[in-house]
């Protein structure tokens, strides 16, 4: 796919932020601007990384060799949503297709349900932040009733391997989970034969 160069450029720019010692503050500003650029054009995501399933899917697009960040496509079919979950690392969410809704949750005393808080609707081309101080615990759902939505996520680690938590909607009890990924093969960012010849 010729447009894959956009993803390659994004990965290189994000790697430069990581090399600069970037933490949540840097990725929430400069990383968010980079992601806004990536999702502004929809011609680069390989079809194999946009296939809906019986539940929402997450396809790994790239993981930094030192696991300082990763890039993932989330694909939502109609009516699909996550459980209440946390991340424990910074995150960026850019909407590539359709729309999704994120609802923040706050934990109450043990044995009580988590309480919903802010709601954020993400439209095509927009970028939302996840972090220690914002939407770390939330539910995400597809806001399109009759079609898929696709968002591009970056996290401050190898999110599919992070030991994090889901929360019971009635009791608030936490259970540990490791999400993994839906794909075994990653997009090939490094075949430059599609690039225009140098003048
Ligand atoms: Fe999330």
CATH code (residue 147): 2.60.120.10
Domain range enclosing 49: 4-177
Binding-site positions for Fe cation = 85, 87, 138
Domain count of the chain?
A: 1
- What is the residue-averaged pLDDT of the chain? 95
By CB atoms closer than 10 A (0-12, 13-18, 19+), residue 140 is buried
Instruction: Answer whether residue 102 is part of any domain.
Output: yes
- Residue 192 alpha carbon to ligand 1 centre in Å: 33
117, 129, 119, 136: which is closest to 174 by C-alpha?
136
Residues 13-31 have a mean pLDDT of 95
Q: Which residues are annotated as a binding site?
A: 85, 87, 138
Please check whether residue 193 lies inside any domain of the structure: no
Q: Report CA(138)–ligand 1 centroid distance (Å).
A: 6
- Expressed in angstroms and rounded, the spacing between residue 16 Cα and the centre of ligand 1 is 25
pLDDT at position 193 is: 85
pLDDT at 187: 96
Count of alpha carbons within 13 Å of 139, Cβ hemisphere only? Answer: 20
| Beta partners for residue 120, in sequence order | 102
- Does the pLDDT at position 172 exceed 80? yes
Predicted TM-score (pTM) of this structure: 0.94
Ligand 1 midpoint to CA 70 (Å)? 14
Q: What phi and psi, each to the nearest 5 degrees, are found at residue 35?
A: -65, -35
What's the rounded mean pLDDT across residues 113-126? 97
pLDDT at position 199 is 44
Q: What separation in Å is there between the alpha carbon of 17 and the centre of ligand 1?
A: 22
Residue 17 confidence class, pLDDT cut points 50, 70, 90? very high
């Amino acid at each position: 796919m010729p447009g894959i160069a956009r993803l390659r450029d994004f990965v290189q720019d994000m790697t430069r932020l990581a090399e600069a010692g970037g933490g949540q503050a840097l990725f929430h500003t400069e990383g968010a601007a980079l992601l806004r650029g990536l999702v502004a054009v929809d011609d680069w995501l390989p079809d194999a990384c946009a296939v809906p399933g019986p539940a929402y899917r997450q396809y790994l697009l790239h993981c930094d060799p030192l696991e300082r960040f990763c890039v993932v496509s989330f694909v939502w079919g109609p009516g699909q949503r996550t459980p209440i979950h946390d991340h424990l690392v910074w995150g960026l969410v850019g909407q590539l297709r359709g729309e999704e809704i994120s609802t923040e949750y706050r934990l109450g005393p043990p044995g009580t349900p988590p309480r919903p808080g802010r709601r954020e609707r993400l439209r095509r081309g927009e970028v939302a932040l996840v972090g220690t101080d914002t939407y770390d615990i939330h539910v995400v759902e597809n806001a399109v009733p009759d079609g898929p939505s696709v968002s591009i996520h970056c996290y401050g680690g190898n999110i599919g391997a992070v030991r994090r938590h889901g929360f019971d909607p009635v009791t608030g009890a936490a259970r540990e989970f490791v999400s993994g990924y839906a794909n075994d093969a990653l997009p090939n960012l490094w075949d430059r034969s599609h690039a225009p010849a140098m003048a």
